[in-house]
Chain A
């Protein structure tokens, strides 16, 4: 087995654990490369099916290419797609001038709405440890309390492959099957498995997106990588961090920690 086989098998094991223990399960699909990899792994775990809903938290500010990709592949893969938007906040004129407030309203609060509406006990999320220092501290199975708080100071131990299989009442569990993957692992896997991906990630006129989210908060990077091979080559030589183009991480040193403590992904 090579490293990708190992990562794949571990992720599938975790997905199946989540499915065994939590019947009200959903996979959070942001249409980006990580959560699309996650959806792919769900299909592998269930021999081509996606036996629980895929949840898209729509801020309304996503790239048009993302909406198109979402609609095409949710059909193709027979997914039960649930879309949640915080309409009240948008109607009240929420924009991304204040990053923390905007992410909190349109992502975190929208996620709370979705959980309340559908009664999800557990969510599969495609976060990775190498994305951001604070995510390096995550567990594979990570409980959130009623108010969504992540008690990062006192996380439950997680030994070997034994994960938290029961939640206290009034909490939901976040499950992170991709935690051990790095950015370049994702790309190597997308290539090996020929997973479809939106072409926002590939260079046009000398620029490409390395991480995608809202049009308002994502800046493309200078790059001539026009296809997967070139992206892999670029990543093998770069040192700039992946989320460098993401505005919400930047405000101050601990923005990401604050966002995450409030329940951000």
Chain B
């Protein structure tokens, strides 16, 4: 049983994420006395002297002085039900790569919309990115209800707008909650200022989220991370990406296309009968000579269903670098432990990730924060699964020199 849940907080800049997170920590009694003191001191050093819950999260000097979250951060709190990890994601377009970094670690999301401003550029963009990244569970909070005089009408209007938008990407918010982050209305306690709202508080809503389901029962995928040789024994090491690997099981390595039988699963404690998805283990094969050709990047799979094996990848890709992607460019693709060079053959359906406007059907380049369908030709074979079926095998990053410049998923 999992006792913790990781969620990412996203939304347009200034809609109140940092404030809300600070408030959540305060209301769950998770703030240490010295942190309270730190918040107080930092507020005193600020010009207007207003205590800012946002300071709990914004720790870089630049972040506090300019009152803007730059980087993603993680913070911990607990309710009687479980422990939470909040991933704070910055709301500026220029820090989208940090928002994405934060979101890829999350199993649920909290989307903030300020009541007086409504849906803004990054609200749209973040909602779309969440759907691309495969985050299915979502809570929406409409913040700063004090600035719209707690108007139910305004709330209903934004609720309709955001729900409609999310539905376009097959996302349905679990609930939409009107709050005032800095004063705590409907955060941990029900407020009397919005008697028309009959739903849960945010804290109660969070407890309704489900941890990511286990993929133990799924088809086996064990990407080989490395091969160690110890005391004359060759060991394939790696982490089971999906399914369960068992001693005596027949497996097939892709893309090599070679079969073998598992002798046993090895850990520091000794020989194990099996290991399920998520475990970092060693695997020793039965047949002598079976190790021939096996190295990092091979993936041990059930005999069926097989993954897709090939040297062409068609994928939805989001670009995260100020230096545009050029058609014809060669990049390194990394999927699980596989790494191959590939050439960008085609950039189609180039999309503005906020307005979802198609900028070009057939493009020569792709700019920062844009999304497109790419056709990539790899200089070697690799194996993948649809992202919806085996997430670990259906997502990848693209590297230019030493930097990650894009992420992608195959459907």
Interface size on B (CB < 8 Å)?
68
Which chain B residue lies CB-closest to A167? B402
Taking CB atoms and an 8 Å cut-off, the chain B residues in 56-86 that contact chain A are 56-57, 59-62, 64, 70-76, 83, 85
**B50: Cβ under 8 A from any A Cβ:** no
Q: In whole angstroms, how far apart are the Cα atoms of A204 and B237 in the complex?
A: 43
Determine how close the nearest CB of chain A comes to the CB of B62; give it in whole angstroms.
Answer: 7
Contact (Cβ within 8 A) B31 A239: yes
Contact (Cβ within 8 A) A3 B3: yes
Write out the residue numbers on chain A whose beta carbons fall within 8 Å of the beta carbon of B72.
137
Which chain B residue lies CB-closest to A132? B59
Give the contacting residue for B402; candidates A19, A162, A168; CB below 8 A.
A168
Contact (Cβ within 8 A) A157 B100: yes
**A129: Cβ under 8 A from any B Cβ:** yes
* 23 A-B pairs in the complex with CB atoms less than 8 angstroms apart: A5-B278, A13-B239, A16-B226, A17-B225, A20-B225, A20-B226, A43-B268, A44-B268, A46-B230, A47-B235, A130-B75, A136-B73, A152-B60, A155-B71, A159-B407, A160-B392, A160-B395, A162-B404, A165-B339, A180-B85, A240-B32, A244-B34, A253-B42
**B305: Cβ under 8 A from any A Cβ:** no
Which chain B residue lies CB-closest to A48? B268
**B186: Cβ under 8 A from any A Cβ:** no
Write out the residue numbers on chain B whose beta carbons fall within 8 Å of the beta carbon of A49.
230
Mostly, the A contact residues are loop
Contact (Cβ within 8 A) A159 B296: no
Taking CB atoms and an 8 Å cut-off, the chain B residues in 96-115 that contact chain A are 97-98, 100-101, 104
Determine how close the nearest CB of chain A comes to the CB of B296; give it in whole angstroms.
Answer: 7
Q: A157-B98, A166-B402 are in contact. Are A240 and B59 (CB under 8 A)?
A: no
**A60: Cβ under 8 A from any B Cβ:** no
Determine how close the nearest CB of chain B comes to the CB of A41; give it in whole angstroms.
Answer: 10
Chain B 184-220 near chain A by CB (<8 Å), digits 1 or 0: 0000000000000000000000000000001000000
Which chain A residue lies CB-closest to B396? A162
Give the contacting residue for B30; candidates A46, A164, A239; CB below 8 A.
A239
Q: In whole angstroms, how far apart are the Cα atoms of A152 and B396 in the complex?
A: 25
**A254: Cβ under 8 A from any B Cβ:** yes
Determine how close the nearest CB of chain B comes to the CB of A4; give it in whole angstroms.
Answer: 10
Write out the residue numbers on chain B whose beta carbons fall within 8 Å of the beta carbon of A167.
402
Write out the residue numbers on chain A whose beta carbons fall within 8 Å of the beta carbon of B64.
253
Q: In whole angstroms, how far apart are the Cα atoms of A16 and B280 in the complex?
A: 10
Give the contacting residue for A47; candidates B59, B214, B226, B282; CB below 8 A.
B282
Q: A9-B239, A152-B71, A159-B100 are in contact. Are A136 and B59 (CB under 8 A)?
A: yes
Taking CB atoms and an 8 Å cut-off, the chain A residues in 4-60 that contact chain B are 5-6, 8-10, 12-13, 16-17, 19-20, 43-49
**A251: Cβ under 8 A from any B Cβ:** no
**B45: Cβ under 8 A from any A Cβ:** yes
Mostly, the B contact residues are mixed
**B276: Cβ under 8 A from any A Cβ:** yes
Q: In whole angstroms, how far apart are the Cα atoms of A79 and B339 in the complex?
A: 32
Q: In whole angstroms, how far apart are the Cα atoms of A217 and B368 in the complex?
A: 46
Contact residues of A with B, CB < 8 Å? Answer: 1-3, 5-6, 8-10, 12-13, 16-17, 19-20, 43-49, 129-130, 133-134, 136-137, 139, 152-153, 155-162, 164-168, 180, 182, 239-241, 244, 253-254, 257
- If A47-B230, A160-B395 are given as contacts, then 5 extra A-B residue pairs at C-beta distance below 8 Å, sorted by A number, are A136-B73, A160-B104, A166-B399, A239-B29, A253-B38
**B4: Cβ under 8 A from any A Cβ:** yes
Contact (Cβ within 8 A) B280 A3: no
Q: In whole angstroms, how far apart are the Cα atoms of A133 and B228 in the complex?
A: 38
Contact (Cβ within 8 A) B2 A153: no
Write out the residue numbers on chain B whose beta carbons fall within 8 Å of the beta carbon of A180.
74, 85
Determine how close the nearest CB of chain B comes to the CB of A215; give it in whole angstroms.
Answer: 22
Contact (Cβ within 8 A) A156 B228: no
Q: Which of A20, A139, A160 is the most central at the interface, judged by chain B CB atoms within 10 Å of its CB?
A: A160
Contact (Cβ within 8 A) B60 A136: no
Determine how close the nearest CB of chain B comes to the CB of A225; give it in whole angstroms.
Answer: 17
Contact (Cβ within 8 A) A254 B61: yes
Taking CB atoms and an 8 Å cut-off, the chain B residues in 256-315 that contact chain A are 266-268, 276, 278-280, 282, 296
Which chain B residue lies CB-closest to A250? B34
Q: In whole angstroms, how far apart are the Cα atoms of A168 and B399 in the complex?
A: 13
Which chain B residue lies CB-closest to A258? B61
Determine how close the nearest CB of chain A comes to the CB of B225; give it in whole angstroms.
Answer: 5
Contact (Cβ within 8 A) A156 B74: no
Determine how close the nearest CB of chain A comes to the CB of B384; give it in whole angstroms.
Answer: 14
Determine how close the nearest CB of chain B comes to the CB of A129; give it in whole angstroms.
Answer: 5
**B334: Cβ under 8 A from any A Cβ:** yes
Write out the residue numbers on chain B whose beta carbons fall within 8 Å of the beta carbon of A3.
2-4, 83
Write out the residue numbers on chain B whose beta carbons fall within 8 Å of the beta carbon of A159.
100-101, 104, 395, 397, 404, 407
Determine how close the nearest CB of chain B comes to the CB of A68; give it in whole angstroms.
Answer: 25
Q: Nearest 8 CB-CB pairs, A to B?
A: A133-B59, A12-B280, A136-B73, A241-B32, A157-B97, A9-B280, A166-B402, A162-B397
Give the contacting residue for A133; candidates B70, B73, B100, B392; CB below 8 A.
B73
Contact (Cβ within 8 A) B237 A241: no
**B164: Cβ under 8 A from any A Cβ:** no
Write out the residue numbers on chain B whose beta carbons fall within 8 Å of the beta carbon of A164.
402, 404
Contact (Cβ within 8 A) A16 B278: no
Which chain B residue lies CB-closest to A171? B402
Chain B 367-387 near chain A by CB (<8 Å), digits 1 or 0: 000000000000000000000
Write out the residue numbers on chain A whose beta carbons fall within 8 Å of the beta carbon of B226.
16, 19-20
Determine how close the nearest CB of chain B comes to the CB of A109; give it in whole angstroms.
Answer: 23
Q: In whole angstroms, how far apart are the Cα atoms of A244 and B59 in the complex?
A: 17
Determine how close the nearest CB of chain B comes to the CB of A246; give it in whole angstroms.
Answer: 11
Contact (Cβ within 8 A) B279 A5: yes
Determine how close the nearest CB of chain A comes to the CB of B114; give it in whole angstroms.
Answer: 24
Write out the residue numbers on chain B whose beta carbons fall within 8 Å of the beta carbon of A166.
399, 401-402
Write out the residue numbers on chain B whose beta carbons fall within 8 Å of the beta carbon of A156.
403-404
